[in-house]
Amino acid sequence: MTAIEVRELRRTYTSRTGWLRPRRVETEAVRGVSFDVGEGELFGLLGPNGAGKTTTIKMLNTLLLPTSGTARVLGHDVARDPVAVRRRIGYVFGGDRGLYERLSALDNLRYFAELYGVEPREQKARIAELLELVGLDGRERERVEGYSRGMRQRLHIARGLLHRPDVLFLDEPSIGVDPVAARDLRRTVADLKAAGTTVLLTTHYMAEADELCDRIAVIAGGAIRALGTPDELKSRIRERDVVELEAYGADEAALERLRRLPGVRGVAAEERGAAQAVTVQTDRGADVHGQVLASLDGIRVGRVVTREPTLEDAYIAIVEDADAPARPVAREVTA
């Protein structure tokens, strides 16, 4: 059975700019997105900032109305029957919002249990069950203000599960969480999927998506650019090698020189403290080490390694190869 069905979903925002001569500008945040999520599936929605991930999730959980297109959750239309959708879903988002810090975790869950309409006779057992699930049993009487970021995120998940939702939306749940807490969160999410909960996950951590997701959709510029299992997405760049090097002070001009080298298929750089992790995707078997180092002449280079492509490399290639820029499309509207 299909838990989530999305067909040509669009969302356009209208804003006004200017003072003396105000203009209306329409921004297409989501442009004709379509996908299905099976019942009991853990589905990943990946994309760069501003790609339309959170807007899509907010339409699916009835926080935003679609401009056009349709979306159904467990057979209920999100625009025509939002109350029925809300009864069947849970929503967990990253960050510190959504909890009362001066209350204990126990009191937070009691409060939200009332809001979610959990029967009073079921609340005690349900809260105890969830505290154990997310690993907060024994700490439930402590104020949330003393919790770490990881503990708060696990409490967010417990809150989202109080009413036993059939579908759970996790919007970047591990953002800002340390590696140990992130591992615990992944274990919790995997347990939810094993128990039969349908999960739609957004994340910027590719290793997390590779470990957890049954299938992944990559969204860029408000449109789906690729959809498949992690292995299917990685197979798109199977005929490539990856040269990863540590650089200090590589500017955009240096990266552009790398992109113009014969045999180079893509270049990405990530700041890591004082250094940069520069990833160069090349044709399989292309010997470009000498040319890469020559292009970075004058820039201090540390470790250089060649490795097999990962899901992160596939993701970068998909986003860079997208026909439209990986940002919302805006246009001026005449009155």
| pLDDT per position as a tens digit, 309-325 | 889 889 988 988 764 44
Residues of the chain predicted below pLDDT 50: 323-328, 335
Q: Which residues of 293-303 are buried (b: 16+ CB within 10 A; e: fewer)?
A: eebbeeeebee
Q: Is the domain of 268 the same as that of 151? A: no
Q: Are both 30 and 75 inside the same structural domain? A: yes
Indicate whether 250 belongs to any domain: yes
Residues 249 and 147 in one domain: no
The pLDDT tens digits for 77-128 are: 999 999 999 999 999 876 667 889 999 999 999 999 998 889 999 999 999 9
- Domain shared by 257 and 189, yes or no: no
Is residue 84 domain-resident?
A: yes
Neighbours of 114 (CB within 10 A): 12
Residues in the chain: 335
Same domain, 80 and 96: yes
Q: Are 79 and 207 found together in one domain?
A: yes
Residues 108 and 157 in one domain: yes
> Does residue 217 fall inside a structural domain?
yes
In-domain check, residue 244:
yes
Look at residue 334 and tell me if it is in a domain: no
The verdict on residue 314 lying in a domain is no
Q: What pTM was computed for the model?
A: 0.83
**Two tokens, residue 243:** 């040269």
Mean pLDDT of the chain: 88
Count of domains in the chain? 2
Based on the domain organization, do 59 and 121 belong to the same domain?
A: yes
* Distance of alpha carbon 272 from the chain centroid: 21
In a domain, 17, yes or no: yes
pLDDT of 331 reads 55
Q: What is the pLDDT of residue 173?
A: 84
Residues 162 and 284 in one domain: no
Task: Say how far apart CA 30 and CA 51 lie, in whole Å.
Answer: 8
Final residue of a structural domain among 194, 213, 234:
234
C-alpha to C-alpha distance for 257 and 323, rounded to whole angstroms: 22
Same domain flag for 180 and 55? yes
Answer yes or no: do 143 and 267 share one domain. no
How confident is the model at residue 20, as a pLDDT? 72
Residue 319 lies in a domain: no
Last residue of a domain, one of 234, 263, 288: 234
Instruction: Please give the Cα distance from 315 to 101 (Å, whole number).
Output: 37
Domain extent at residue 41: 2-234
β strands within the chain, DSSP E: 2-17, 23-38, 42-46, 68-73, 76-77, 89-93, 167-171, 198-202, 215-220, 223-228, 240-248, 264-272, 275-283, 300-307, 329-333
CATH at 250: 3.30.70.100
On whether both 158 and 269 belong to a single domain, the answer is no
Query: Where a domain ends, among 234, 251, 274?
Result: 234
**What integer pLDDT is reported at residue 96 of this predicted model?**
67
Q: CATH number of the domain at 208, please.
A: 3.40.50.300
